């Protein structure tokens, strides 16, 4: 009863001794403190990976088991995580709850809004440890780092060619399959890549 009352009053009695951040619930503080201490008490029984929170372990374990308990009521597609289903359902409903405070643009997902806002602010929080380059998005940093490391994790199943980025593998595979998903609305011409269609329409 006490914690329910706290949620209604907005009171935050649980304070982090490391950074002063306050929380309404004790378990939220406990989870937060582990970011400071580096404690990872939840270990995967399938691999060596450890997690700070139980729900993160649960989500991770489903990658091993293949369990997809969250199903879309519109198209029956299944997901391992509830938030992935929530994001997916918005594709059906057209709901865009995350609005940019700088412009009128709206987004289906919070992380898409966060990435967009950085176009306005110029914020580049992701720094390369090999050089001085900075990035607005984590995935852009990940792709960039592979230039330094030479890592090519995306392999073609048709010819064994390897790529640093997933989208480059996708484009490459279309050379094998002949898939042309981008069609011109003015004529019958089809393209393997969106930018090729854009250039064609011009």
Domain regions of the chain by residue span: 2-37, 42-93, 98-149, 154-201
The CATH code belonging to domain 2-37 is 3.30.160.60
Q: Do domains 2-37 and 154-201 have the same CATH topology?
A: yes
Nearest alpha carbon to residue 65 among 87, 49, 44, 48:
44
User: CB–CB of 45/63 below 8 Å?
Assistant: no
Domain 42-93 has CATH 3.30.160.60: yes
Residue 101 has pLDDT above 80, yes or no: yes
Task: With CA atoms as reference, report the closest residue to 127 among 140, 114, 116, 118.
Answer: 140
Q: Which run of H or of E encompasses 154?
A: strand 154-155
**pLDDT value for 12:** 82
Length of the chain: 202
Question: What would be the CATH architecture of the domain defined by 98-149?
Answer: 2-Layer Sandwich (3.30)
Which pLDDT band holds residue 202 (cuts at 50, 70, 90)?
Answer: confident
**DSSP, res 193:** S
pLDDT digits (tens, 9 = 90+) for 157-180: 999 899 999 899 999 999 999 999
Q: Does domain 154-201 have CATH number 3.10.20.600?
A: no
Residue 3 pLDDT grade (very low, low, confident, very high; cuts 50, 70, 90): low
Confidence bin at 7 (pLDDT 50/70/90): low
Q: What is residue 118's predicted lDDT score, i.e. its pLDDT?
A: 96
> For residues 48 and 202, which has the higher predicted lDDT (pLDDT)?
48
- The answer on pLDDT for 31 being more than 60 is yes
Average pLDDT over residues 62-68: 93
Torsion 74-77-84-57 (CA) sign = positive
**Mean pLDDT for all residues in the chain:** 91
């Amino acid at each position: 009863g006490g914690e329910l009352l706290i949620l209604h009053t907005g009171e935050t009695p649980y304070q982090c001794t490391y950074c002063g951040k306050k929380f309404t619930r004790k378990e939220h503080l406990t989870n937060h403190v582990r970011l400071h201490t580096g404690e990872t008490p939840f270990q995967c029984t399938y691999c060596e990976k450890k997690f700070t929170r139980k729900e993160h372990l649960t989500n991770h374990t489903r990658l091993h088991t293949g369990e997809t308990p969250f199903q879309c009521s519109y198209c029956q597609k299944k997901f391992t995580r509830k938030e992935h289903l929530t994001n997916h359902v918005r594709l059906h409903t057209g709901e865009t709850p995350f609005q940019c405070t700088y412009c009128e643009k709206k987004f289906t997902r919070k992380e898409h809004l966060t990435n967009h806002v950085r176009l306005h602010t110029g914020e580049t929080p992701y720094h390369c440890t090999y050089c001085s380059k900075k990035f607005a998005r984590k995935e852009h940093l990940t792709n960039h780092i592979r230039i330094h490391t030479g890592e090519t994790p995306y392999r073609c199943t048709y010819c064994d060619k390897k790529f640093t980025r997933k989208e480059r593998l996708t484009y490459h595979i279309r050379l094998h399959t002949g898939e042309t998903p981008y069609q011109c609305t003015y004529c019958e011409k089809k393209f393997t890549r969106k930018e090729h269609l854009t250039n064609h329409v011009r």
